[in-house]
Amino acid sequence: MPQVLEFKLPDLGEGLTEAEIVRWLVEVGDVVAIDQPVVEVETAKAMVEVPCPYGGVVTARFGEEGTELPVGSPLLTVAVGSAEGDLPGDLSGNGADGAESSGNVLVGYGTGAPAARRRRVRPEAISAAAAPLAEPAPVPVTAPAPTPGPVPAPVPDEASGPVAVVSPLVRRLARQHDLDLRQLTGSGRDGLILRADVESAIRAAANGTAVAPSVPVPVSRPASGPAPVSAPVAGERIPLRGVRGAVADKLARSRREIPDATCWVDADATELMAARAAMNGAGGPTAGPKVSVLALLARICTAALARFPELNSTVDLEAREIVRLPAVHLGFAAQTERGLVVPVVRDAQSRNAESIGAEIGRLTEAARTGKLTPAELTGGTFTLNNYGVFGVDGSTPIINHPEAAMLGVGRIVPKPWVHRGELAVRQVVQLSLTFDHRVCDGGTAGGFLRYVADCVEQPALLLRTL
């Protein structure tokens, strides 16, 4: 007889604890192959297609599109055949205990196996496949139940007394807003407290109402005395989650922990633009991809970091040590429809301008299509932020924690400039360096920025090594 296996949301790596279902790639009754992507989820770092390690028939799905699930929650169940003829086609099991599985560890993204052609199985076959289960099968999303999967017994909260909460996300959200979960009545099955219940209580508190176990009631006001201050007008509320939430958390942490300072300088980029044009024109029409200004600036940064390694470091607060890092993993800010992301060019110190440019192009395309993996978005040691693409000249960058510095680059525009003792129109750019004052003093930061500016203004000597 077929065996029904439950596939849970796997550990997506890099400390991620939850993911939001963006799009289901299979339906109940579909036949799936081993390692076939079955759902697309969004984490705080990337969009990920999650492959199922089992081959068989999908008997249930858990979670509607838009639902946020913690790691370890059920995603779907698959009926796997244990003998020839138990399931249609070629899905008879041949693994241990009749369970067909890849055995791959799913961390961050799939194994790259090609997706199998979607097939459907008649409903009676699904029912027969689910029959051997000793326990009732979990409720699929097609059922009217408002929450995915069976509801476990109430879990004791930090305070005394049982609370009907299963999601650690809900508990964390309540703690962050000092809400007593025992005062809420959940709208989920069997009184389960959902995220929506906690968010509703938060909104009620912000609007000046007290939350009773079921229905919010207005807060009583004094009969005399000064007129009470009107409650704030309710506007559009956008949850801080996904990429936006991750950016907010990281920037807030940077401001809390890092004593940063910023210095800036204007530089004449005319010669850099001329050198770039010469490099791109040297190979003729059959040459490879053009070298971008960002790639040249990235290469200049790696040369500057070799001279000022203090800025390619991090601070170990517990050990009270500055850790200078041996490799430059260069992050660059990229604006996408999902928000700001910072892909990382690994080992940038060992790449020339063409290699850096090619990797920036590949990562930018992956960011645009939402295909960056968590590994491609973490581990940076220094960040380059080209905000000039937004048409602005200057900014004060916020350091990408736990890094020690970020270089910001404004737009390159024609401006009046004194060149060789005469007033001329030159291509001018403003460079801004924000640095962690714990790792170095202003002299080191100024030396780094001045070296970068000198390379921008006189790139000939540096370009020989690119």
Q: Tell me, letter by letter, the H, E, C secondary structure of 146-211.
A: CCCCCCCCCEECCCCCEECCCCHHHHHHHHHCCCCHHHCCCCCHHHCCCHHHHHHHHHHHHCCEEE
- Written as one letter, the residue type at 432 is S
Active-site residue, 401 included: no
Q: Tell me, letter by letter, the H, E, C secondary structure of 213-242.
A: CCCEEECCCCCCCCCCCCCCCCCCCCCCCH
Nearest alpha carbon to residue 398 among 430, 433, 429, 367: 433
Distance from C-alpha of 186 to C-alpha of 163, rounded to nearest angstrom = 10
Distance from C-alpha of 95 to C-alpha of 355, rounded to nearest angstrom = 44
Which residue reads 């991620």 in tokens? 16
Which of the 8 DSSP states describes residue 424?
E
Nearest alpha carbon to residue 431 among 461, 393, 459: 393
Nearest alpha carbon to residue 405 among 387, 385, 388: 385
The active-site residue out of 329, 401, 419, 437 is 437
Beta carbons within 10 angstroms of residue 191's beta carbon: 14
Residues annotated as part of the active site: 437
